[in-house]
Structure 1
Amino acid sequence: MDTSTDKKKDNLTEEDVARYLRNHPGFFLKHEDLLADLKLSQDRGKAVSLTERQASILRERNMEMRTRLSSLLENAQRNDVLFEKTKALILALVDARRADELSNAFCQHLTENFQIDAASVIVFGNPVVSNSRLRVTTESEASAHIGSILKNNKAICGNLRESEIQFLFGERNVDKVGSAAVVPLHRDRPLGVIAIGSRDPQHFQSSMDTLFLGYIAEVINRCLPRLLKA
């Protein structure tokens, strides 16, 4: 008598049984009579057959997969809408024939299509009187007001001081800006700065990804020098 084999059988664990069944998914096809004897208890204590339990699990997984698919479709639709809005903005920037047209296009698209409460483009140069949204100021004047924003030449997000908000968006828009995102413009030399603001103090935070605004800034960096020369 092989006692070692008997001892090994006696030492079988639940994990061994589960592993065997997982490796032999057709086991119950050969032993259908066992299915009728297997019972599983639900939360309410009612016993159900293995087949009923399997059907219940499959229904739950099916509902979960439908929820995931619905979420993916919603994200795809949102991405499509965002792509179309971004494309329209980029084309408007590229089609601008003057710097003030570029500024007006930027501010209009951001406030109308991207749920932004305030937007501005500030260009470094000799100040001129204009009815457009383009603001022109000297680099030294900008440094005096937003020097901490310009010094790293990187996009920043978060809460700004009232004096910074006033310089970037104008005195009449101070109440519209609780938080903001700002990107310095640079193409071989400092060109200016773009800024967008929200009434919500938590909308723009320092941890936010600035990829989108940085992308828009790159487009303006390439268009603006040509327009300023014109």
Structure 2
Amino acid sequence: MTESTAERQQQEIELTAADVANYLRSHSDFFVNRPDILYDMELPHAPANAASLLERQASVLRSRNTELRHKLNELVGIARDNDKLFGQIKNLGLSLLEANSLNELGANLKQVLALEFELEHANLFVYKSAATPATHITLSSPRDLQVSLRDLLRGNRIICTTLRKTEMSFLFPGYSQSEGSAILIPLHYNQDLGLLAIGSTDPGHFNSNMDTAFARYIGDILSRRLLHLLA
């Protein structure tokens, strides 16, 4: 046996499965001109059941394709929901701009939240003792709300949480269900202006995991319009 032959045999002995796998990855067309090798190869698909390498590869590709379609459908659904939400908030903003009084502001707000967003309860608290009492707003003060809601008011933070019946009844006069949930949106623009409370009879509808970006946007629009009407 020559030295070169011995060296080749030694190299063949030291060749590992990882080496073969790396080579095949680097030469993805290896089997194109070697169908005889491909036909002889089998991979165990399950105990007592084998599938050819080509069938296995096709199965993996189909699985990945299905996964990508699901992800694409999910992204399309999210985009569709966001587009709908943007239209709803646009209609809300226009409705608030059309209000010429505090009472009309409260009425328009409740109407759009009920019709566009299908929200069951809403109440606009206004911090203005000199304002004229009205049907669609609630005149209050930061102190009164703090006494009744306690740690639910945390500066300008938006709070989404489950509430007891007593808390729901305070926020939404006439509320007759058991516990529910609400989102509390502080209204602030150069000063504390009030609080927008939106509620649901479903205790889990508003929760701490919710994204509050759109709620903040609603609060910003409402705060600016509210300041203008209070001037």
What is the TM-score of this pair, normalised by structure 2?
0.86
Alpha-carbon distance change, 92 to 69 in structure 1, aligned in 2, over 3 angstroms: same
Are positions 1:169 and 2:176 aligned together? no
Alpha-carbon distance change, 187 to 147 in structure 1, aligned in 2, over 3 angstroms: farther
For these two proteins, the number of residue pairs brought into alignment is: 227
Report what 1:130 is aligned to: 134
What is the TM-score of this pair, normalised by structure 1?
0.86
Report what 1:34 is aligned to: 37
- Shift of residue 44 of structure 1? 5.7
Report what 1:181 is aligned to: 183
Are positions 1:78 and 2:76 aligned together? no
| Identity across matched positions, percent | 37
Are positions 1:119 and 2:142 aligned together? no
Q: Counterparts of 1:188-199 in structure 2 under 5 Å?
A: 188-199=190-201
Alpha-carbon distance change, 58 to 209 in structure 1, aligned in 2, over 3 angstroms: closer
- Shift of residue 174 of structure 1? 4.5
Report what 1:214 is aligned to: 216
Partner AA of 2:202 in structure 1: D
Larger helix percent = 1
Between the aligned partners of 1:37 and 1:139, the Cα distance in structure 2 is 80
- Shift of residue 147 of structure 1? 4.3
Alpha-carbon distance change, 109 to 8 in structure 1, aligned in 2, over 3 angstroms: farther
Between the aligned partners of 1:98 and 1:107, the Cα distance in structure 2 is 14
Between the aligned partners of 2:224 and 2:151, the Cα distance in structure 1 is 24
Alpha-carbon distance change, 130 to 202 in structure 1, aligned in 2, over 3 angstroms: same
Between the aligned partners of 2:71 and 2:77, the Cα distance in structure 1 is 10
Q: Secondary structure at the match of 2:46?
A: coil
Between the aligned partners of 1:71 and 1:151, the Cα distance in structure 2 is 35
Q: Secondary structure at the match of 2:177?
A: helix
Task: Point out where structure 1 has 5 or more consecutive residues left out of the alignment.
Answer: none
Task: Point out where structure 2 has 5 or more consecutive residues left out of the alignment.
Answer: none
- Shift of residue 176 of structure 1? 7.1
RMSD: 2.3
Report what 1:88 is aligned to: 91
Between the aligned partners of 2:103 and 2:8, the Cα distance in structure 1 is 89
